[in-house]
């Protein structure tokens, strides 16, 4: 069989909800192998945008000159050719680069007939614990709405949950009364979730950098009775001194780093131990190889890794292949309940058992994408 060589790079978008779509990169070789990576971006955040989807598609295609003619096994050559472009191009370009990198791993695994996890050092587990991020599935954003979805996720077997209950906290000009009302609403949402699921289920909160350091500390203290597993990004984690200050003044563990690129992006958080858990995302951090290196760096500093992954099923497949090889990865994120047809996009479908995702034994990322 001739050595596979990259012949084309394409981008696809799957329409999901008004809150966001899923974006993918597809690499095809001259002998018919197809590799997939997920390029779902974080630009819209609370809204889907055709313009943003077009921009990510163009960014994916922009890496064709660095990929054309490469073997899937020339991963480092691609990184050397394209890393500088990704590094200076911002989040969208870094996401496109990361998707193409995932797709190279998918092709390499297929060419060798082995799962990507075996190429990354071998699995430590065959099923990775996950937590259900119920945020995008929760359209009724009252405390009762969050509580109802939390209870449903637990009924499905998940033993850890997360939500972004402060997304409506004002970030522009507002009165102290408005800020207090929104902070109190977020706290009541988490209290309702805790009451709905009982004391044995882990709860986490993503604050999406809505607060300043003072309010971060105040809210964390008011949340102590909820017993959070972690308190995520109350301020932008690139503000390392503020993040460290918050960590030193609260009882809960801190987590963050979901949009950082490369080891150098995470190094300040790790050197200062400003967080207890870092959250590299295979869609943004530089892909699977860089994710492995970031995790090894975190292990050096005694910091856990929980990959950020509130996205589509292909990102879950890639993240699970990586997470299964990491000794310092206690749990992986899952975007729970966003759409009922999610499982139809993969062949074979993703499978969750007792709050864990069971890794596929198929070659590459373990699944074929079946676009709608």
Q: For residue 332, what are the β-bridge partners? A: 130
d(CA 215, CA 221): 10
Residue with structure tokens 């587990």? 125
113 by Cβ neighbours in 10 Å (0-12 / 13-18 / 19+) ranks as exposed
Q: In angstroms, rounded to a whole number, what is the distance separating the alpha carbons of residues 296 and 256?
A: 17
Please choose, from the candidates 319, 313, 283, the residue with its C-alpha nearest in 3D space to the C-alpha of residue 91: 283
SS3 20: strand
Pairing of strands 277-278, 254-256: parallel
Which residues are catalytically annotated?
208, 308
> What b/e sequence results for 297-332 when a residue is b if at least 16 CB atoms lie within 10 Å of its CB, and e otherwise?
bbbeeebbbbbbbbbbbbbbbbbbbbbbbbebbbbb
């Amino acid at each position: 069989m001739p050595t596979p060589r990259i012949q084309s790079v394409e981008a696809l978008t799957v329409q999901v909800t008004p809150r966001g779509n899923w974006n993918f990169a597809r690499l095809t070789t001259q002998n018919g192998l197809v590799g997939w990576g997920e390029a779902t971006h974080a630009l819209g955040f609370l809204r889907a945008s055709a313009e943003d989807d077009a921009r990510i598609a163009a960014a994916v295609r922009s890496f064709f000159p660095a990929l054309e003619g490469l073997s899937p096994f020339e991963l480092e050559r691609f990184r050397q050719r394209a890393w500088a472009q990704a590094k200076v191009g911002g989040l969208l370009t870094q996401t496109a680069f990361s998707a193409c990198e995932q797709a190279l791993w998918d092709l390499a695994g297929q060419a060798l007939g082995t799962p990507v996890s075996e190429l990354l050092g071998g699995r430590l587990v065959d099923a990775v614990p996950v937590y259900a991020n119920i945020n995008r599935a929760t359209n009724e954003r009252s405390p009762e709405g969050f509580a109802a979805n939390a209870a449903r996720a637990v009924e499905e077997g998940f033993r850890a949950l997360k939500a972004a209950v402060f997304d409506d906290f004002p970030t522009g000009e507002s009165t102290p009364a408005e800020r207090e009302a929104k902070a109190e609403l977020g706290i009541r949402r988490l209290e309702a979730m805790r009451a709905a699921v009982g004391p044995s289920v882990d709860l986490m909160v993503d604050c999406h950098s809505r607060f300043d350091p003072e309010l971060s500390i105040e809210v964390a203290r008011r949340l102590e009775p909820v017993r959070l597993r972690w308190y995520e990004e109350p301020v932008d984690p690139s503000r390392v001194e503020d993040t460290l200050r918050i960590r030193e003044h609260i009882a809960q563990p801190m987590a963050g780093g979901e949009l950082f690129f490369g080891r150098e992006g995470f190094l300040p958080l790790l050197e200062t131990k400003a967080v207890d858990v870092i959250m590299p995302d295979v869609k943004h951090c530089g892909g699977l190889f860089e994710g492995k290196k970031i995790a090894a760096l975190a292990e050096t500093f005694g910091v856990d890794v929980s990959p950020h992954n509130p996205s589509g099923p292909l990102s879950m497949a890639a993240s699970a292949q990586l997470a299964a090889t990491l000794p310092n990865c206690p749990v992986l994120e899952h975007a729970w309940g966003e759409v009922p047809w999610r499982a139809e996009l993969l062949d074979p479908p993703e499978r969750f058992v007792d709050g864990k995702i069971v890794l596929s034994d198929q070659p590459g990322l373990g699944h074929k994408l079946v676009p709608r």
